Amino acid sequence: MPISATSARPAQRLMSADDALARILAGVPALPAVDVQLLDALGLVLAEEISADRDVPPFRNSAMDGYAVRGDDVATAPTRLRVVGEVAAGGFPDRAIGKGEALRIMTGAPMPEGADTVVRVEDTDNASDVVTITAPTPKGISVRQAGEDLRAGETILGTGTVLRPAEIGLLASVGRARVRVRKRPRVAVFSTGDEIADLDAPLGKGQIRDSNRYTLASAIRAMGAEPWVRGIVPDSPDALHAALREAMAADAIVTSGGVSVGDHDHLKPVLSELGTIDFWAIAIRPGRPLAFGALKDGERRVPIFGLPGNTVSALLTFEIFVRPALLRMQGREHVSRPRTTARLLEPIEKIPSLRFFARGIHDAGAGTVRLTGPQGSGILRSMSLANCLIDLPAGRDRYEAGESVDVILTEQPEPR
Ligand code: AMP
Ligand code: MG
């Protein structure tokens, strides 16, 4: 949904986080399908249907080091069989075996004709001319059938599948050196503010270090997108205009700072020159101000997320709004983290009109959750110590110890 500058609401009118996320998810474009090398496809969404080009495994083979035999010959033990040869993985048996015969065979080697069972070497005397089978062996055991993993022609992965290591392995099994996936988003990230200094610059009076660019670039990488780390943009319309123009080469843009009241009137004209952008005040804490829109680059629309500058607000609004958006752009259907409920170990006070995302430590075994300590929107340690967010809806001003509360499990991936 395009959001025009003219439809911008006054910052005082608060939007719910659910409404904001719904608008964002409806507004972000789907990224195109591209062909990538198999190893570059991890975490991406398949954009084609994959079928097996042949049986996997392609031939009947041994699951053990031992002797390939006729099952009828080894039903009782001890039994002595004549060893007629040997086959290793990568070799091929040069003859069939008959009654009373055995072929020494290694794991992964093709089974000889006539054999239907492998006696593992531990159940033999390991001899090379005449082998003694020391344990009765069930017919058919330790043989892997051709096609028992994948059948030739069978559809093995559908469009929309998220590629994890197991799926990458399946694709390799059917010989796919390249595969068609939804593009991994390249996300430009920069910081704004006259007070922000980079890490190698001396810290002048009134300046603070730029942590957001590093936090956000890492959050982008952590969710499988590619950060394109840009610079620090001073609070000047010209500098911002230039920075945004360059950043439009990306698939999405994430900035921090300069969206709160007092700043945004200065950002707004620049952003609306380059596309459509809306400044929202969202009824959450932390992270009330947020800008969302799309810059126009010819036919392309490049979503832009202007996150608040406070360190906790920036990372938290990334988690709540940007991460789902980047997942949806990549073709992911499920974009919400798993949730649970837990028993609160300490009281929490909040502003009644705002939904509060408290940083918590969830103990899954005990079914409890507690705060990470002070919850100020500039206290980044509250995020560092957390393994979850406690999601306290608008409406109440206090939650008591012992109450059951909703918890967002931010260390667990979204369902596939
Ligand atoms: P702003 O949203 O620009 O009003 O910034 C809100 C607060 O976040 C201010 O205290 C800023 O100094 C701080 N802040 C803004 N950008 C960054 C950044 N890149 N790294 C750390 N703190 C920042
Ligand atoms: Mg600022």
The amino acid present at 316, given as its one-letter code, is L
Q: What is the pLDDT of residue 4?
A: 42
End-of-domain residue from the set 329, 357, 392? 329
Burial class, 174, CB count within 10 angstroms (exposed 0-12 / middle 13-18 / buried 19+): middle
Higher pLDDT, 250 or 268: 250
Q: Are residues 139 and 256 in the same domain?
A: no
Of 329, 352, 383, the residue at which a domain comes to its end is: 329
Return all residues near 52 (Cβ < 8 A) that are at least 6 apart.
150, 151, 152, 153, 154, 156, 173, 174
pLDDT at position 12 is 59
Ligand nearest to the CA of 308: 1
**Between β-strands 284-285 and 355-363, what pairing exists: parallel, antiparallel or unpaired?**
parallel
Quick one: 202 and 139 in the same domain? no
Letter string b/e over residues 144-172, b meaning 16 or more CB atoms within 10 A of that residue's CB: bebbeebeeeeebbeeebbbeeebbebbe
Q: Report the separation in Å between the CA atom of 261 and the middle of ligand 1, taken as the mean of its atom positions.
A: 13
| Residue where the block lists tokens 């170990």 | 345
Res. 402: pLDDT tops 50 = yes
At residue 68, does pLDDT exceed 80? yes
The domain spanning residue 213 has which CATH number? Answer: 3.40.980.10
Largest CA distance in the chain: 92
Is 228 inside any structural domain? yes
Q: Which of 208, 210, 266 to mutate to test the pocket of ligand 1 (most atoms within 8 A of CB)?
A: 208
Per-residue DSSP letter, 108: T
Residues 110, 11, single domain; the answer is no
| Whether 271 and 404 share a structural domain | no
Mean pLDDT along residues 71-94: 97
Residue 251 and residue 353 share a domain: no
- Please give the residue range of the domain that contains residue 165: 34-53+154-182
Q: Indicate if 133 and 187 belong to the same structural domain.
A: no
Helix H or strand E encompassing 326: helix 323-329
What total of structural domains would you count in the chain? Answer: 4
pLDDT at position 266, please? 72
Is the pLDDT at 2 greater than 60? The verdict is no
The pLDDT of 307-336, averaged and rounded, is 97
Residue 149 falls inside a structural domain = no
pLDDT of 13 over the 50 cut: yes
Among the bound ligands, the one closest to the CA of 211: 1
- The ligand 1 atom nearest the CA atom of 313: 8
What torsion do the CA atoms of 235, 237, 243, 248 make, to the nearest 10 degrees? 130
Specify whether 198 is located in the same domain as 254. yes
Q: How far apart, in whole angstroms, are the C-alpha atoms of residue 310 and residue 305?
A: 15
Ligand 1 atom nearest the C-alpha of 213 is 19
Is residue 110 situated within a structural domain? yes
Among 18-27, 179-188, 266-275, name the one with the lowest average pLDDT.
266-275
Tell whether the model's pLDDT for residue 227 goes beyond 50.
Answer: yes
Closest CA to 50 of 182, 153, 169: 153
Specify the range with the lowest mean pLDDT, choosing from 4-13, 216-225, 379-388: 4-13
Give the position of tokens 């939804």.
182
Distance CA 253, CA 250 (A): 7
Q: State whether 210 and 248 are in the same domain.
A: yes
Residue 264 pLDDT > 80, yes or no?
Answer: no
* Interval 299-325 mean pLDDT: 97
Give dist(CA 227, CA 185) in Å, integer. 8
What's the whole-number mean pLDDT along residues 330-341?
97
Summarised one tens digit per residue, pLDDT across range 146-157 is 999 999 999 999
CA distances from 100 to 70, 87, 97, 265 (A): 8, 18, 8, 91
Are 238 and 291 members of one domain? yes
Residue nearest to atom 5 of ligand 1 (CA): 309
Neighbours of ion ligand 2 (CB under 5 A): 193, 257-258, 309
Q: Which atom of ligand 1 is nearest to the CA of 192?
A: 16
Helix (H) or strand (E) holding 54: none
Whole-structure pTM value: 0.91
Which ligand 1 atom is nearest residue 378's CA? 8
Q: Which residues line ligand 1 (CB under 6 A)?
A: 191, 193, 195-196, 208, 210-213, 256-260, 263, 308-311
When pLDDT is averaged across residues 405-416 and rounded to a whole number, the result is 96
Predicted pLDDT at 315: 98
262 and 216 housed in the same domain:
yes
pLDDT score of 1 more than 50 = no
Do residues 206 and 303 both lie within one domain?
yes
Position 416 in a domain: no
373 and 263 together in one domain? no
Domain harbouring 125, CATH code: 2.170.190.11
Asked if residue 191 belongs to a domain, the reply is: yes
289 Cα nearest atom in ligand 1 = 2
Kindly state the percentage of the chain with pLDDT values over 70: 96
Whether the CB-CB separation of 179 and 39 falls below 8 Å is answered with no
CATH for 160: 3.90.105.10
Going from the Cα of 309 to the center of ligand 2, the distance in angstroms, rounded, reads 6
Say if residue 3's pLDDT is above 80: no
Q: Quick check: 8 pLDDT over 60?
A: no
- Mean pLDDT confidence for 286-309: 93
Does the pLDDT at position 46 exceed 70? yes
329, 352, 377 - which closes a domain: 329
pLDDT band at 6 (very low <50, low <70, confident <90, very high): very low
What residues form DSSP beta bridges with 190? Answer: 255
Domain assignment present for residue 413? The answer is: no
Residues with Cβ within 8 Å of 169's Cβ and at least 6 positions away in sequence, in order, are: none
Mean pLDDT, rounded, of the chain? 94
- Assigned domain for 93 exists: yes
Q: What is the mean pLDDT of residues 281-294?
A: 94
In a domain, 284, yes or no: yes
